[in-house]
Each structure stands twice: as structure tokens, then as C-alpha cells.
Amino acid sequence: MTETITSRPVRTGTLEVPPALGGLGLFTVLLGAALPLVDFFIVNVALPTIGADLSASEAVLELVVAGYGVAYAVLLVLGGRLGDLFGRRRLFLGGMAAFGLTSLACGLAPDAWSLVAARVAQGASAAAMLPQVLATIQATTTGPRRARAMSLYGATAGLSMVAGQILGGVLVAADIAGTGWRSVFLVNVPVVLVGLFLAARAVPETRSARPEPVDVPGTFLLAASILTLLVPLTEGRAAGWPLWTWLSLAAFPFAAAAFYAVERRADRAGRTPLVPPSLFAIVSLRRGLLLIVPFSIGFSGFMFVIAVALQQGAGLGPVAAGLALAPLAVVFFLFSLAGPRLVARYGTRVVPVGAALQGVGLALMTLAAWRSWPDLGLVELLPGAAVAGAGQALQLPVVLRVVLSEVPAVRAGVGGGVMVTTQQASLALGVATLGTLFLSLVPGMGMRDALVTTLLVQLAGVALTGLLSLRLPRTIA
């Protein structure tokens, strides 16, 4: 099976030269990749202000975070399939426009439940936009240009997650025109307008020559699997672990097994299911996805926990709490730029080195929390944050390249959707697990010991990523 790549307008079945993704087009799709990840983390330091302004309970505030993350994770693979079917540029434009509108709705929300609903819609629009980024890169680049584009995508993903938290603190404190926390959402609107203008001019249209129809049973079963796992883990602690949370968790393995059975049957019948099990026969994809899970759980869990600890425990304001992670962001960016040259020379051996560096950085931050509490801020966290940033930069961009390196172009949308779904579900799982662990320990242990314990648990996760990285292919196709 081959894929026809077409320029505007899309013409199915007509073989043409694949359009090249120029520098401006690459910048535009990377901007689209940054927006959803920034918004996943931007609310962490704004939650106390949102709660005070809207009189929102802790459970509702957790829904502000979880509603976005769960909707995003549930619909990502479907977004990739729709891009293959209707055109990736078209879905990118539509998703970005919807993201701008839902961001406006978040910023204007009159009460907490309106904000939760707008965040769910925002997550759904992000799921339409993000898979088109990877699929477009896969379909319009080859060789060194693809390697460079994928490295920049990985760098953008990692930097966005840290920058979102820093930006959130700055915007809340700046209180632009009296908007307070609302500015963390309203800032998306002008960015989206610029993105739409650039995308209309610089992003080529691509689609599959033989697009498959939407896998309806697979879509519903994947949604059921993700929802039965993430919703109870996210809301259980704040709700007091009622019966429905345990019933939901008990249903998860059955929903996951049913999803796998339906997808395997469709795959063997020659159809293209939502997540083809045959895709996991690609060793680089399978092992890369396995590594993304603990890495993303630890990353998002750390970002959530440190935001709460610095504001509620160390008494820092939103700006100081956000800027405490600035060294991590700066070093991550610098090492991401050097990543492609290091991979060209040493291959994926840089990944276990990165895991070791991240472990050292996390250990330094744990030691700083133990010795300096409650005087914990930028200066105390700087050495550990800088070392951890370097380690993360040597892992995430490289692993993202590995996952998609051998996925055929005809499955670019599906492969990209599977990867970002794994990443996003793991990010949401990190907040649900490490965040729940930390908040559950605080009443009995106190803020410092709860923070130290949670960081040690994350350190065990970093050790796991280091071990898993030893199984990656030595070179990237």
C-alpha cells in the first residue's frame, strides 16, 4: 500500500510529488504542538487563584486539570484517523480554530463548572489538532530533514511542558487588565489567530490515498478504557474513594481486553482498526512507547507536585513558583539543540546517559527539599533542576524520534496518534498517581516529608526508564 500526498486541493488517487514542509510551515505546526502541552501545565500554578475566585472545591479544581487531560487523551487517536480521512491540514486548521474558541470560553467562564466544561471542549479540540503535526512531518519530510524536524518536535514538547508552568505564574501575577487567572487561557487567542494565518499559507495538505473509515467500536472501547482508569484515579481521593471509583477501576481491564480483541479481529480481517495491533510488531515503536510511559508519568507528576509544594508549603507566589523551574527549561532547550549531533555520533546510547543525569538532578532536588525546607526556591533548586533538564533533553526528543522512525508513511496519522495518546494518557496518569500520593501523605507526614517521599518514588521511575532505554535500537532509522 502506498500513500498519495497531495497539495491543495486534495485529489485522491492522483500520484503527485509530495509537498515539502518549509521552515515557516515547520514553525507553524510546532506552534500547534506547543499550545496543547502548554495548556496542560499552565493551570498548575493558577489553581489556587481559580479556586478562590470561583469558590471551587478541590474536587472541581482537579476536574479543571483532569477534564482537559482525559478528553485530550481519549480523542487523540481518532483525531489522527480523521486527519488521514479528511486531510491533515484541514483538521489542523479546524482544531486550532476550535482551540482558540474554547480557550476564550475558559477565560470568560462565569463559574467553576462552566470552566470545567470549557476545558473538556478545549481538550477535544487539541486532540483534533496535535496528531496532524506528527503526521504532516512524517508525510512531507525525509532523511535528515525529518530527523531535524522530529528533534525539534521533541524539544518543543519538553520545553512547552516546563514553559507552560512558568508562563502561568507570570500571567497570574501580572494580572493583565485585571484578568488574573483568566489570562492563562486568553493568551491563547492571539496566538491561535497568528497560527491560523500562517497555517493557511505555509502548511501543505496531505492525506492517505486510501483512508479507512472511522473504527466506531474501537473508538468507544478505547474511550472506555481510558476513562475507567483515569477518572477514578484523578477524582477518587478528593471524592473520598466512593464505590463508583472502585467499580470503574475494576472495569478497566475488561474494557482494555475488549478493545484489544476488537482491534486484533479487525486487523486480521484486513481492515485498519483505530490502533492496529500489527503496528506494535515494529520493535522501535513498541520499546519507545514502553519508555514514554514512566517518563511522562514522572514528568507531569513532578510538575504538579512541585507547584503545589512551593505555593502551599514554601509560601511562594505564582511567579516565584514558576520561575523556580526556569533553570530546567533553559538547560533543556540548550541540550535539545545539541541532541541531534549527539545522536548522530552516539546513537540512542545518549538516552540512558540522560536517565542517569535526570536521576542525579532529581536526587539533588530531593536533598534540597530535605535540607532547606521551607526555604525552597530558585536558588536551592537550581543545581538539581539544571542537571535534570539536561537529562530530560537527552531522553524525550530522542525517544519520540525512535517511536516513529520505522512507521510507514501510510500509517503516519495512526502512528502519531498512538504515540501522543500514550504520552498524554501518561501525563494525566502522572498527575493522578503522584499527585494523589503527595496530597494523601501531606496530612500525616507534613508537606516536606510528603514531597521528599514523592520525589523518591519518582526517582524509582527514572531508574526504570534508564533500564528500559537499554533495550532501544542502537540507531534510528
- Whether 462 shows a pLDDT value over 70: the answer reads yes
pLDDT at 414: 74
**pLDDT band with cut points at 50, 70 and 90 for residue 11:** very low
Q: What is the signed CA dihedral for 296, 302, 305, 307, rounded to 10 degrees?
A: -110
pLDDT at 18: 57
**pLDDT band with cut points at 50, 70 and 90 for residue 106:** very high
pLDDT at 122: 95
- Give the count of beta carbons closer than 10 Å to the beta carbon of residue 288: 29
- Distance CA(13)–CA(384), nearest Å, equals 54
Query: Which of 299-303, 394-398, 413-417, 438-442 comes out lowest in average pLDDT?
Result: 413-417
3-state secondary structure of 167: helix
Residue type for position 217? P
Segment 53-70 shows an average pLDDT of: 83
Helix (H) or strand (E) holding 160: helix 143-174
pLDDT at 361: 95
- Whether 44 shows a pLDDT value over 60: the answer reads yes
Query: Which of 4-8, 42-46, 462-466 comes out lowest in average pLDDT?
Result: 4-8
- Distance CA(412)–CA(207), nearest Å, equals 10
Question: 337 near 187, Cβ under 8 Å?
Answer: no
pLDDT in tens, 167-178: 888 888 888 888
- Whether 81 shows a pLDDT value over 90: the answer reads no
- Distance CA(447)–CA(359), nearest Å, equals 22
**pLDDT band with cut points at 50, 70 and 90 for residue 457:** very high
pLDDT at 61: 81
Highest mean pLDDT among 11-15, 84-88, 107-111: 107-111
Segment 331-349 shows an average pLDDT of: 83
pLDDT at 182: 93
Q: What are phi and psi of 173, to 5 degrees?
A: -70, -35
- Distance CA(397)–CA(333), nearest Å, equals 11
Segment 323-328 shows an average pLDDT of: 86
Q: What is the DSSP string of 227-290?
A: HHHHHHHHHHHHHT--HHHHHHHHHHHHHHHHHHHHHHHHHHTT---SS-GGGGGSHHHHHHHH
Question: 324 near 310, Cβ under 8 Å?
Answer: yes
- Distance CA(394)–CA(406), nearest Å, equals 20
- Whether 230 shows a pLDDT value over 70: the answer reads yes
What are the CA-CA distances from residue 242 to residues 47, 107, 246, 252, 461 (Å)?
24, 32, 7, 16, 29
Segment 182-211 shows an average pLDDT of: 89
pLDDT at 17: 53
Question: 198 near 28, Cβ under 8 Å?
Answer: yes
The chain-wide mean pLDDT, for the chain, equals 86
C-alpha closest to that of 414 among 116, 231, 214: 214
- Distance CA(103)–CA(125), nearest Å, equals 10
Q: What are phi and psi of 437, to 5 degrees?
A: -60, -50
pLDDT at 5: 38
Highest mean pLDDT among 101-110, 142-151, 266-275: 101-110
Segment 381-396 shows an average pLDDT of: 91
What are the CA-CA distances from residue 332 to residues 72, 154, 369, 384, 398 (Å)?
25, 11, 22, 13, 13
Question: 364 near 389, Cβ under 8 Å?
Answer: no
pLDDT in tens, 111-124: 999 999 999 999 99
- Whether 257 shows a pLDDT value over 90: the answer reads yes
pLDDT at 179: 85
- Whether 29 shows a pLDDT value over 90: the answer reads yes
Cα-to-chain-centroid distance, residue 24: 23
Segment 230-252 shows an average pLDDT of: 89
- Distance CA(466)–CA(413), nearest Å, equals 29
pLDDT at 461: 93
- Whether 2 shows a pLDDT value over 50: the answer reads no
pLDDT at 358: 94
- Whether 416 shows a pLDDT value over 80: the answer reads no
Segment 39-45 shows an average pLDDT of: 82
- Distance CA(222)–CA(205), nearest Å, equals 28
- Distance CA(188)–CA(35), nearest Å, equals 8
Q: What is the tally of helices (H) and strands (E) in the chain?
A: 18, 0
The C-alpha cell 534540597 sits at 368
- Whether 453 shows a pLDDT value over 90: the answer reads yes
Segment 176-185 shows an average pLDDT of: 88
pLDDT in tens, 430-445: 888 898 899 889 999 9
- Whether 288 shows a pLDDT value over 70: the answer reads yes
